[in-house]
Every structure is written in structure tokens, then in C-alpha cells.
Amino acid sequence: MIPPASAGMVNGGVRMQVLKTAEALRNQGVDVQLFNPLELRNPADFDLVHLFQTGHEMLSLSNLIPTQSVPVVLSPVLFSRHPAERMRRWLWFESLFLSRLGGATTELMVKKMVCERADLLLPNTPAEAAWIQSAFGIASTRIQWIPNGVDRRFAEADPRLFEEKTGLQGITLFVGHVVSERKNLLRVIEQYRAADMVPKTEGLAPMTEGMTSKSVPPPPLVLIGQTEGGGGYGEACRQAIERNPDVIALGPMDAEGPMLASAYASARVFLLPSLFETPGIAAMEAAVAGAIPVVTAYGGTKDVFGDDAIYVKPSDTKGILEAVARAHQQWETHSERGGTWSGAQRYSWDVVAQKTLEAYRNL
């Protein structure tokens, strides 16, 4: 398995997908080797090579693999909010124009080439699969969608560790690369007001901090994940966090540790307003722990969460914040119905490994 180099620097979804898929495949008796760029290996020594993501890095690597003798599997982790038909026309234009410049390529052309060189593509959602098939003209026989997985242990997570260490409870939670433009957090960070998220009782004023019973203080937006880097966008996010007392950045947490699981269990709402997600492993983990997911409508999230999430348009910050408030309003009923998301059974890493191994064997 060959992940992108960024997986060694950002503890994000692709890194988790690679590690968890490899672990689950090993549990089923598969000899999985993770690529080390400093260790010389001959691709022909393997039964297949599984690449993750598209881009120049993967294009260069795919050129080194003797594809006639070694099958190449690709998990593209690729989506665009631009219609596939428009992207197909744009690719035609780019090819026509750039052919006169001696082989220059664009990022979109590179992604298409990586997909074309793979024998089998394993996108994470039907929406991702449909977009790739239409935009790049990849035959449906070479595409099989396999979902991301989620650990069942999150269903048993205990909120007390997080709440005792931080003094927070009933929060709005985000977990991921905070300063990534794709995660689309800047405007939300700037405009989030905890008081606006307090559940209201019909016909009465909003509940306040003095109330007890099932009520909690106005829920802050808690950010768990990397806040360094990100260029100008990252700097704007950091400044917005400093200015807004209702936003708390806790930094990264060990993905396998009890603190992150406890944070999920403490959250009432999990927010993921990204430009797109396929479908967002952190959102799946939080949903299993009992939070209501408020997630982007793009990338195939609806394929996975169905009616168990509230969907938002990334460009509509006001709508995103209203959706978060609505989720807090619904949380008591959600909790009384059992709270945890049933996807833990359908999308376990064991199931993902079984589907992946079946796809390997069909090559």
C-alpha cells in the first residue's frame, strides 16, 4: 500500500483509511506491506500495488510500476462540486490547448491519468464513483465503491474523561485538519456564537446556564486537530480562533487514544462543513459515539448517513450555523432514541477489509 507523503504529516482521513484497512486485511491473513520511500522494493515482487489519492506523486509512482505484470488498485479519494460533464469538457479544452506546449499538464489532467492507469478504482461513495466515471470516462467495470470504515469501540466511549479534563460538555465538535481550506471552517469560526446554539423550549425563552436537569451551558465550538500551517487561510483561522471566545482549539489528539473517543461521546453535535467529504471518517466516528452529524451535502455523505445527518451547503455559513442550532435542539430526542448511529455495523473496518479483499481477488 502506498499512501501520499502528506499522510506522514497530517493525521487525517487518508492516513486512517490506509492504516485501518491494512490492519483489518492483516487480520484476515493478507500480507500487507506499507510503502517506505527509503526502502528499495521491486513492485514485481508483490501481487498488487494499492495507491491512495491522485496527484503528481502518484502519477510518478504509477510510472515505475510494470502494470503489465502487477495490477494497480487505486483509492482515489477524489470529488469535485463542479459537474462531471463540465469537467469532461474542460479536460478536452486543456488537452487541445496544452498539446501545443510540449506536454504540459494540469492538476485535473494528472488526476485523470492516475485513474486511467489503475486496473481497479475503489472510491469511497457511489457519488465519488459516478463523478469519476462520468468526468474521466472510466468504465464502470473498473470501479467498485468501498466505504470508509469506523471502529465499533466508539459506541462504548465514555464522555467523563474529556469532560473532567476540559470542563466542557454538550459541545459542538470538529475533528480534522482545522486550517485546510477544504474543511471550510474560517467563516464558521468567525461567526459561531454559543448562545445561539442553546436548545429552546417551544413557547419559552432559551435555556440558560442556570438551568440544570438535561440542559448544559451554551455549547462552544471545540476544534481538535492541526492548526499550524495553511498559509494565509491558516493564519486567518488562527486569528479568528483568538478573537472568538466561543471557539476552543485543543490541538491534535491520538486517534487511537481514549481522549478523542471521550470527546466524541461528550459532543452533542459534530460539524463537518467541508467543500466535500467522501464521507468523512471523523463524522462516522462521532455519529457512532452518539453525536448528531451536521455535514456537507457534497461528496457522497448522503450515501452513508442517509436520514441520520443534517446536510449543509458549504457556501451558506448562516445555514450551517442554523443547522448546528437545530441539531442541538434535536439532541434530547436523538439521545432518548438510543443516540448511536447504526452504521457501526454496516461500515466496520472488518467489512471494509472483506470488500477490499474480494475486489483484489476479482482482478
Distance (Å, rounded) from C-alpha 238 to C-alpha 266?
Answer: 24
Would 5-148+348-361 and 152-345 be classified into the same CATH topology? Answer: yes
Which CB contacts under 8 angstroms, 24+ apart, belong to 65-69? 67/117, 67/119, 69/44
- Find all residues with CB under 8 Å of 53, minimum gap 6, and list them: 3, 4, 14, 75, 76, 77, 78
HEC assignment per residue over 224-267: ECCCCCCHHHHHHHHHHHHHCCCEEEEECCCCCCHHHHHHHHHC
Distances (CA, A) of 140 to 51, 74, 120, 126, 130: 19, 14, 10, 11, 9
Distance (Å, rounded) from C-alpha 251 to C-alpha 176?
Answer: 10
Distance (Å, rounded) from C-alpha 99 to C-alpha 38?
Answer: 35
The CATH T-level fold of domain 5-148+348-361 is: Rossmann fold (3.40.50)
166, burial (CB in 10 Å: exposed 0-12, middle 13-18, buried 19+): middle
Residue type, 297: A
What pTM, to 2 d.p., does this model score?
0.87
C-alpha dihedral sign at 350, 353, 359, 363: negative
Tell me the domain boundaries of the chain.
5-148+348-361, 152-345
Beta strands 221-224; 292-296: pairing state: unpaired
**pLDDT (tens place) for every residue of the chain, 363 residues total:** 999 998 888 778 899 999 999 999 999 999 999 999 899 888 889 999 999 999 899 999 988 887 678 999 999 999 888 888 888 888 888 777 766 656 667 888 899 999 999 999 999 999 999 999 999 999 999 999 999 999 989 999 999 999 999 999 999 999 999 999 999 999 999 999 999 998 765 443 444 444 333 556 899 999 999 999 999 999 999 999 999 999 999 999 999 999 999 999 999 999 999 999 999 999 999 999 999 999 999 999 999 999 999 999 999 999 999 999 999 999 888 876 666 687 778 899 999 999 999 999 999
Looking at the structure, give the CATH architecture of the domain made up of residues 152-345.
Answer: 3-Layer(aba) Sandwich (3.40)
Q: Could you write out the DSSP letters of every residue in 275-340?
A: S--SS-HHHHHHHHHTPEEEEESSSSHHHHHTTSSEEE-TT-HHHHHHHHHHHHHHHHHHHHTT-S
